[in-house]
Amino acid sequence: MSSIAHELAKKQKEISVSEFFEKNKQILGFDSLTRALITSVKEPVDNSLDACEDAGVLPELLVRVEKIDEKEYRVTVEDNGPGIVKKQVPNVFARLLYGSRFHTRAQRRGQQGIGVSAVVMYGQLTTGKAARVRSKISDEEVAYECDLILDTKKNRPDVIKEDFVIWDRPHGTSFQINVKGKYIGGKQSIFEYLKGVAIVNPHAKITFIPPEGNAVVFERASDIVPPPTKEIKPHPEGVELGELLSMAKYTESNKMTSFLNTEFSRISYRVARDICELAGVPPEQRPDKMRLEQAGAILEAIKKVKIMSPDTDCLSPIGETLIRKGLKNVLGQLKADFYAPPITREPKVYAGNPFVVEVGIVYGGGLNREEQVQILRFANRVPLMYQQGACAITQAVEAVDWRRYGLEQRGGQGIPFGPAIVLVHVASTKIPFTSESKEAIANIPEIKEEIELALKACARRLKTHLNKAEKKSKTRVKFEIVQDIIPMIAQKAAKIVGKPVPKLAGTITKIMNVVWIDDEVKFEKNRHHISVKIYNYTPKSQNFHLHMLLPYDKVDQKTLKMQPIEVREANKVTWDVKRLSSTDILELNFDLHGVPQEQYDQNELYVSGIDSASVIGAEVLPGDWDLEHLRITEEGPAEEPEEGEEGEIDYDEGVEVVKDEE
C-alpha cells in the first residue's frame, strides 16, 4: 500500500486555471455552438461598454459576424473607447483571471477577468486560429495590432505577430476572433442579445452586421453617459465571519475602532466604539489578535447598531426615465398600449455588497395575449440569455400573484400569461452569479425579496392603468349615452310643457364629474402633429399641472400657443392648467420636426396638483420627476356662475379655451 501511495503522489501536480477551463469550457458559456457564438459577441461587447463609460465617452459599437464555412464564424467588435496601452493588450485579451475589477467594489459589467480571454481560448481550441486585436489611444498617431493566443499551460499570452498600423479612428479598440459556432435567429440570438443591450444602455449606439449582411442599427435614445461609479469599502451588513477574520488579519490598523472605521463603509469612530462596547471587545485591542468568539460578537453587535444605508455612487442604476426611454426606443414597433412607470428601489446590502433592483413593465399592443409573459433579465446592464429557470429573477416573478394585477396565472403560480414584457435589472458591486458563464443570479434571499417588492410595486401601476383604461372605456360609453339621450329627453320634455330646451352642460358635468384628457399624435409631411384636449366635466373650476415627456428642442415654437412654465432636462415639460372652468375645453396643439416617425408614436401625459382618481387620460406623475420648485396657484377654484348666468373668466394670454357648445 505504501508504494501505491508514493506512485499516486508522483502524479499529483498543480493545474493551470486556463488548462482547467480549457477542459471545462461549458462552465464559461461554450456548452453549445449557438451559445458559444453569442458568448463570443457578449464578452467583448461588455468590455467595450465598460471602457467607454470609464472614459466618459458615448459608446459607438460595431458588431460584425461573418460566416467562414458551415460551422466557423468570424466575430469582430469595434468601439470608440479610450483604447489599451500596448503593454497591457496581451494580458487583457489572453490571460485568464487578469484584470482590474475583481477586487473593486464598484458596479462593472466584467467582474472576474475571464470573459474575453475565454473567447480567445475557445477560438484557438476550435479553429486553431489566433485572435487579432487592434488598439489606439488618443495621444498616438498609429494603432498597435497583434495576433495572439493563450498558452493554457502557463496561463500567459503568446504574441504571434505584432505591428503598428494606420487606423482612421482617433481612439478605440477592435477585437476579431474565429470561432466554431452556429448562427440562429429567435429569442436566444445575437440580435436579441444586442436588442437587450440597447434597452438597458440607451446611451449606446450599436451597429450589427449579421452574416446575411443587412446592417441593423440601434440608435441611442439618450446623450447622457452614466456617471462613473466610485469604489467603496464593504458595507458591514451581511459580512461573513471568515471574511471578517481575514480582513482583521491583514489590516494595517492597530486598534479595533480604527479597523472598523477604515475597512468598512458607513462606520464612524462613534459607531465603531458602540459596536465594540456591545460586543464586549476592547476598542484598543489589535485586530489581528481578535478571537473567533469576539468576531461572532462583533457581527451580532453590527446587527443591533443603526448603520446608514450603503453609498449609492458605487452603483449605476439605469433610472426610471431612461428605462422608459430604452424600452420605447427598442420596442416601439410593438406599439404597446402602456409602459408602466418603472420602479427603482432603494439600495440594499447582501454579504457587504450594495445592490439596487429596477423593474419596468410593457403591456398590450402587438404582444400575444395567449403566451407567457416575456421576462427580460439584466445584471449590471448586461442581458441574461440562458438559465432562466435557475435565476432569482425568474423565481421572484413566479412567486408574485399576478392575478391581483390583471394578468392570467394558471394555478396561481409560475410565469403569468398575457400581453406583457417584464424587465428586471439588478445592479450591484458584485452580482452573485450561479456560474462563471454569468447567465443566472443566485437565489440570495435579500435579492429575491427586493425583486419581488419591485415587481409588486410596478405591477400596481399596471393594475392602476388597467383600472383606468376600463374606467375610461365605461366613462366614454356613459358619456356617449348621456350626450345622446339627455338632449332627446330635454327636447321632448320641452315640447310637452311648451318651454324652450334648457342648457344641459351643467347637468352633464354633474353626471360625468371627471376631467377628461384626449390626446393624439399624427405624422404628416415629416412632422408630428400633437393634440391634447382637456375637458372639464366637473361642477367646479380646476387648477393643476399637465406634464409631458417629449423632445422639447424639436418643438416648432410657432405652433406652440400655450407656453410651458418649466422645461427640465430638455424633455420634461410642464404646463400650468389654470382656472379651467366647468364645461370648458383647453386645447394644446403643437408640431415636432426633425424626429423620426418611429421615435415618437404616443404622448406620455401626467398630472399633479389634482386628485388623479378624477382624471381620465393621464397618469399620476412618476417619482423621478423633481417638482419641489413647482406649486399650484393658490387662487383656488373660480366661483361658479349661478345656473343660467354667463360667467366671465380671464385666462392667461396664449391659452386657447374653447367653450362647450352643448
Higher pLDDT, 259 or 625: 259
Q: Which residues have CB under 8 Å from 662's CB, separation 6+?
A: 483, 487, 503, 504, 505, 508, 583
| Distance in angstroms (rounded) separating the CA atoms of residues 378 and 426 | 6
| Distance in angstroms (rounded) separating the CA atoms of residues 258 and 286 | 10
Mean pLDDT, rounded, for 605-628:
76
- Considering only 27-36, 93-102, 465-474, which range has the smallest mean pLDDT? 93-102
Q: Which three cell numbers stand for residue 381?
A: 446592464
Q: What is the pLDDT of residues 48-57, one digit of tens each?
A: 998 998 889 9
Query: What does DSSP assign to residue 597?
Result: G
Asked if residues 276 and 391 have their Cβ atoms less than 8 Å apart, the reply is no
Separation of CA 569 from chain center:
18
- Quote the Cα angle for 89-91-95, to 5°: 140
From the options 2.30.30.110, 2.60.40.2960, 3.50.7.10, 2.60.120.10, give the CATH code of 503-659: 2.60.40.2960
Helix, coil or strand: residue 126: helix
Higher pLDDT, 494 or 638: 494
Instruction: Decide if pLDDT at 218 tops 90.
Output: yes
Q: What is the pLDDT of residue 455?
A: 95
Mean pLDDT, rounded, for 426-434:
89
Q: Which three cell numbers stand for residue 494?
A: 320641452
| Distance in angstroms (rounded) separating the CA atoms of residues 394 and 414 | 9
% of the chain residues with pLDDT over 70: 87
- Considering only 378-382, 420-424, 466-470, 539-543, which range has the smallest mean pLDDT? 466-470
- Considering only 183-197, 388-402, 554-568, 643-657, which range has the smallest mean pLDDT? 643-657
Q: What is the pLDDT of residues 300-349, one digit of tens each?
A: 999 888 888 777 778 888 888 788 888 888 887 777 888 887 889 988 88
3-state secondary structure 186-224: CCCCHHHHHHHHHHHCCCCEEEEECCCCCCEEECCCCCC
Q: Give me the chain's average pLDDT, please.
A: 83
| Distance in angstroms (rounded) separating the CA atoms of residues 88 and 198 | 29
Q: What is the pLDDT of residue 626?
A: 54
Q: What is the pLDDT of residue 25?
A: 62
Q: Residue 379 CB: number of other CB atoms within 10 A?
A: 26
Q: Which of 92-106, 426-440, 547-561 has the highest mean pLDDT?
A: 547-561
- Considering only 85-99, 364-378, 512-526, which range has the smallest mean pLDDT? 85-99
Mean pLDDT, rounded, for 638-653:
35
Q: What is the DSSP string of 482-511?
A: HHHHHHHHHHHHHHHHT-PPPP-HHHHHHH
Instruction: Decide if pLDDT at 102 tops 60.
Output: no
Q: Which residue has cell 452573485? A: 432
**Binning pLDDT at 50, 70 and 90, where does residue 482 land?**
confident
The helix (H) or strand (E) run that includes residue 340 is strand 338-344
Q: What is the DSSP string of 450-481?
A: HHHHHHHHHHHHHHHHHHHHHHHHHHHHHHHH
| Distance in angstroms (rounded) separating the CA atoms of residues 530 and 654 | 17
Helix, coil or strand: residue 180: strand
Domain boundaries along the sequence of the chain: 18-218, 241-304, 320-466, 503-659
Instruction: Decide if pLDDT at 207 tops 60.
Output: yes
Q: How far is CA 618 from CA 171, 451, 546, 605, 658, in A?
A: 46, 27, 9, 5, 20
CATH architecture of 241-304: Orthogonal Bundle (1.10)
Q: What is the pLDDT of residue 470?
A: 79
Q: What is the pLDDT of residue 72?
A: 93
Q: What is the pLDDT of residues 246-257, one digit of tens each?
A: 988 889 899 999
Q: Residue 547 CB: number of other CB atoms within 10 A?
A: 24
106: burial class by Cβ within 10 Å (0-12, 13-18, 19+)? middle
Q: What is the pLDDT of residue 309?
A: 77
Q: What is the pLDDT of residue 642?
A: 37
**Binning pLDDT at 50, 70 and 90, where does residue 634 land?**
very low
Mean pLDDT, rounded, for 171-189:
91
Q: What is the pLDDT of residues 154-163, one digit of tens each?
A: 888 889 999 9
- Considering only 24-38, 188-202, 316-330, 518-532, which range has the smallest mean pLDDT? 24-38
Q: What is the pLDDT of residue 16?
A: 56
Q: Which residue has cell 417619482? A: 623
- The letter for the amino acid at 69 is D
**Binning pLDDT at 50, 70 and 90, where does residue 4 land?**
confident
Mean pLDDT, rounded, for 560-582:
90
Fold for the domain defined by 320-466: Ribosomal Protein S5; domain 2 (3.30.230)
pTM for this prediction: 0.73
Q: What is the pLDDT of residue 495?
A: 83
From the options 3.90.1150.10, 3.30.565.10, 3.40.50.2300, 3.40.50.460, give the CATH code of 18-218: 3.30.565.10
- The residue count of the chain comes to 662
Q: Which residue has cell 310643457? A: 497
